Amino acid sequence: MYFLRRTLFAIPLLLVISALAFALVHAAPGGPFDRERKPASPEIEHNLKAKYHLDEPVWKQYGRYLGGLLHGDFGPSLKYRNHSVGDIIAQGLPVSLTLGGLAFCFATGLGIPLGFFTAARRGGWTDYTGSFLAVLAVCIPSFVLAPVLILVFAIKLELFPVALWETPWHMILPPIALGSFFVGQVARILREGMLTATQAEFVTAARAKGLGETTLLFKHVFRIAVLPVVSYSGPMLADLLTGSFIIENIFQIPGIGVFLVNSSLNRDYTVVVGLSLLYAVLLIALNLVVDFTYTWLDPRVKYE
Amino acid sequence: MSDQPSTTTPGPANGNGAAAAGLPHHASPARRAWRRFRRNRPAILSAWYLAGLLAIVLAWPLLLQVSGPAFAGLHDPDRLSDAQFAAPGARHWFGTDVHGRDVFSRTLYGAQISLLVGVVGAAVSLLIGVLWGAIAGYVGGRVDAVLMRVVDVLYSLPSIIFIIVLITTVGETLKQSHYVQHSPEVEGALRVSLLFIGLGAISWLTMARIVRGQVLSLRTRAFVEASRALGAGTARILFRHIIPNIFGVAITYVALTMPAIILYESFLSYLGLGVQPPMASWGTLIAEGVSQINPIRIYWWLIVFPGGILVSTLLALNFLGDGLRDAWDIKSK
């Protein structure tokens, strides 16, 4: 019931987002055809505008756009003439999803053990080194890490290709550069969760009954402590997917992030609105999935 | 995160902390926090590092003015020279870039913009966040529900997308308006203010939530109740009891918001949406370094020095923020 309501609530939310994005891009001066070869005759410009209905009032264009959306049509790109927005998404989204998914695996695969061991060895040098590494990972922006990785591993040591997205060898440096921030975040969240969980009464009870430290940590503490990580993974995945354009830019990866920045500079109205909507849908859906997983993992939690 | 089951946060100043630390009972919350903070070595080190960096950043332009023309000419951040891509050495401590400009000077001038954006952006987010959260928490009822619903909705928007679209559109409007057309300085200043407002405007959500939680729990605390029973009015309770208790939380989250905003700014500047040349920030410097990556010669200093200063600043701010949080004894969840 709760999840049904949340899903229904997403519809007006997406309407608001699309209207906002639509209004914002149309409010900006200049149009998508400004950077065409000049001087184009006024007739040509007029015809172009008429073809894409840009001569109509904005609310009418918006209505037309929504009508298209109902049929699953995101409209034509105004800049990449022979592509529709649907084509751009179909081409770029799988690449961005792969990149984000790999970065997610890297972040959790390294972050969870790091957080676990720093918490398990609390106060020792493992904890200090590990915790420092976690903070450091949070403080190195992807656009600093990526060029350093390229300089060291691709150019100096020639272990990996410098750019592009073709073989599995191309898919190692970009996810590391993208995911390292989240390694730190996951480790810090898990460590904090573990430290809180060790103070819980059921842990003291289990220990009093003579349960071994290792079993206690793995079977009881970890299961509670991982919950905040789960709830963080929704925003994290969304960030990995929406924040990948810098990495895509540096490594020349043909994902959708590149289009977002270029098209908002080019006033490619349909692409900007389409991609904003896509990101919003992803974010909302991921948050829903996370909340759903949460109730499944932790039966104590009830949403109403 | 929008519908997390949340527990109310206990207030920062509880008596048992003081008793455990063996401190006199009359010490104010701020005093006790300060004593705890002083024992936190990473946080103190970070504070010194930031103070030192700030001092150098502020003193460097003065030093260039005072010193002789030879020194000033060598280190002028905007002066082009023939010494392109000089490696770091005695003449240019951080090397030079593609136009032969001194990277050390450019990093320090870039720091002015980056730090300023961080401070002002955090202040904007503090202002909006505290007002929003305090009103929601103190007034309660329907106002609270509406205000927090707005925060939930904003949380579910992809903020980086929003700010990219906002900055490209408003920035373009600025460029077209005729105030700006004749003076690049005005345009630069306006763009930077746009950054301040935009970045502050997307960073206040967490602050609002936390302040609201604090106010909610403070309202029902015994000392507030006692004060009300003794006849104190709303204003006195707010300013004497609630605001001082929020102070610790607010200052902590300012310290934790600043690195996020600095990061956002360098992100945007990296994409060419932030500060425009000839102005520089850490983000634009790193972007210049990245654009010079080639397989033949490695100009590592163009990335390592600005990047290193950026990373160490973020690191120091994080340690400082964590130290403040521990000192004020704020539970993060």
Task: For residue B318, list chain A residues with Cβ-Cβ distance below 8 A.
Answer: 135, 138-139
Q: What angle do CA B221, B34, B241 make, to 5 degrees?
A: 25
B48: Cβ contacts below 8 Å, ≥ 6 apart? none
B201: chain A residues, CB-CB within 8 Å: none
| Residue A29 touches partner B, C-beta closer than 8 Å | yes
Q: How far is B226 from chain A (nearest CA, A)?
A: 32
pLDDT digit string, tens, across residues A164-203 = 777 777 787 889 989 899 999 899 889 888 888 888 888 8
Residue A106 has pLDDT above 90, yes or no: yes
Confidence label for B332 from pLDDT (cuts 50, 70 and 90) = very low
Q: Residue B164: which of A156, A238, A260 has the nearest Cβ?
A: A260
pTM: 0.78
The whole-angstrom distance between B301's CA and the closest CA on chain A is 11
Q: Is pLDDT at A257 greater than 70 in this prediction?
A: yes
Is B156–A13 a contact, with Cβ atoms under 8 angstroms apart? yes
Structure tokens at B176: 């077209």
The alpha carbon of B161 is separated from its chain's Cα centroid by a whole number of angstroms, namely: 20
Give the whole-angstrom CA distance, residue B313 versus residue B51. 11
**CB contact residues (below 8 A), chain A span 44-103, against chain B:** none
* CA distance linking residue A265 with residue A269, whole number of Å: 10
Is A136 within 8 Å of B311 when comparing Cβ atoms? yes
C-alpha Rg value of chain B to the nearest Å: 23
For B102, phi and psi rounded to 5 degrees?
Answer: -75, 120
pLDDT band at B72 (very low <50, low <70, confident <90, very high): low
* CB B265 within 8 Å of CB B52: no
CB A100 within 8 A of CB A240: yes
Confidence at residue B51, expressed as pLDDT on a 0 to 100 scale = 92
pLDDT beyond 50 at B12: no
Q: What is the pLDDT of residue A187?
A: 92
Over residues A23-77, the pLDDT tens digits come to: 777 776 666 666 555 556 777 777 777 777 677 777 777 777 777 777 777 777 7
pLDDT of residue B22: 52
Nearest to A151 among B2, B5, B298 (CB): B298
Residue in chain B lying closest to A265 (CA): B168
CB pairs under 8 A between A and B: 127
Q: Write out the two tokens for B266.
A: 């360098």
Kindly report, residue by residue over B15-32, the tens digit of the pLDDT: 444 444 555 556 777 788
Instruction: Assign A227 to helix, strand or coil.
Output: helix
How far apart CA B131 and CA B37 sit, in angstroms, is: 27
Determine the distance in angstroms separating the CA of A280 from the nearest CA of chain B, rounded to an integer. 6
Yes or no, beta carbons of B271 and A272 under 8 Å apart: no
Q: How confident is the model at residue B157 (pLDDT cuts 50, 70, 90)?
A: low
- Beta carbons within 8 Å of A1's beta carbon, 6+ residues apart: none
Positive or negative CA dihedral for B163, B164, B166, B172? positive
Q: How much of chain B, in percent, has pLDDT values that exceed 70?
A: 77
Question: Nearest CA of chain A to the CA of B248: how many Å?
Answer: 21
Q: What is the DSSP letter of A302?
A: -
Is the CB of residue A209 less than 8 Å away from at least one CB of chain B? no
- Cross-strand partners of A107: none
Shortest distance between the Cα of B48 and any Cα of chain A, in A, equals 18
Instruction: Give the closest residue to B180 by CA, choosing from B284, B283, B281, B276.
Output: B276
Taking CA–CA distances from A243, the nearest residue in chain B reads B160
Top-confidence residue, B333 or A299: A299
Q: Which residues of chain B have a CB within 8 Å of the CB of A235?
A: 1
Q: Which residues of A touch B170 (CB under 8 A)?
A: 28
d(CA A198, CA A225): 9
Model pLDDT for residues B84-93, shown as the tens digit of each residue = 766 777 676 7
Assembly ipTM = 0.76
Residue-wise pLDDT for B214-263, tens only, equals 888 888 888 888 888 888 887 788 778 887 788 777 888 888 888 888 88
Distances (CA, A) of B215 to A265, B65, B124, B140, B244: 43, 50, 20, 10, 11
Task: Please report residues of A whose CB lies closer than 8 A to that of B160.
Answer: 242-243
Q: Directed axis angle between helix A222-242 and helix A85-120, to 10°?
A: 150
How many CB atoms within 10 Å of residue B305? 21
Question: Which A residues in the span 246-285 are in contact with B, Cβ-Cβ below 8 Å?
Answer: 246, 249-250, 260-261, 264-265, 272, 275-276, 279-280, 283-284
Determine the average pLDDT of the residues in B109-134.
Answer: 86
Average pLDDT value for chain A: 80
Rounded mean pLDDT, B150-177: 72
Which residue from B2, B273, B314 is facing A139, i.e. has the nearest CB?
B314
DSSP-assigned letters across all residues of B112-134: HHHHHHHHHHHHHHHHHHHHHHH
Q: Which residue has the tokens 């490619």?
A: A268
